[in-house]
Amino acid sequence: MDRKALEYHVRGILEAIGEDPNREGLLETPSRVAAMLEETLEGTAYSNHEIAEMFGKTFESHCFADSEEAVVMKDITVFSYCEHHLALMYDMKVNVAYIPRGRVLGLSKIARICDMAAKRLQLQEKLGRDICEIISEAADTPDVGVKISGSHSCMTARGIRNASSKTVTTTFIGKFRNNSDLKKLLDD
């Protein structure tokens, strides 16, 4: 990311909304916002393949060899930004399930994959697809399911201002597509 450009444009936004970027409370705002964007949009710098490589640490597991059993991790907390309004997507909970093929991902790696994939401008539906793709590659399995529930400030804080609305998306690949028992693993 170009930090100097970010600072310049944040200063311009402050001026455009009628603020004085030279007043005491705003003097460091362009720098702070640039640092925040570098941190919260870090995933923009990586492809799904690179994230899979980064967090693809697996362990041999004989428990799952030739099995239809799944690893399920629920309530992974992430946040992201809507690409349409740059609005915060918050209170997001990600449930991930996959069927291992002789190897399992470290549990922290699943949460790290979800976190890094969320650090991009996007839509919730795309986030689910990205997490599925990354988990599939990292765990070397075609069988992955992802369910995401979250609030979108473009719905809760502006426009219709429906503060209690939640958006739920599901993404299923492999055996999760047609197996209702596997899909139920992702329910809350």
85 has catalytic annotation: yes
Which position among 9, 42, 137, 154 bears the catalytic label?
A: 154
Tokens of 142: 């075609």
Helices (H), 23-70: 29-40, 48-54
Sheet with 167-173, edge to edge strand ranges: 121-122, 71-82, 88-98, 144-152, 167-173
132 has catalytic annotation: no
Tokens of 67: 């099995």
Which position among 15, 49, 63, 84 bears the catalytic label?
A: 84
Which position among 9, 19, 38, 85 bears the catalytic label?
A: 85
Give the SS3 label for residue 86: coil
114 has catalytic annotation: no
84 has catalytic annotation: yes
Which position among 114, 122, 132, 152 bears the catalytic label?
A: 152
Give the SS3 label for residue 61: coil
Which position among 114, 124, 132, 133 bears the catalytic label?
A: 124
122 has catalytic annotation: no
Which position among 83, 114, 133, 137 bears the catalytic label?
A: 83
Which position among 9, 19, 38, 82 bears the catalytic label?
A: 82
Check: CB of residue 59 under 8 Å from CB of residue 104. yes
What residues are labeled active site? 82-85, 124, 152, 154
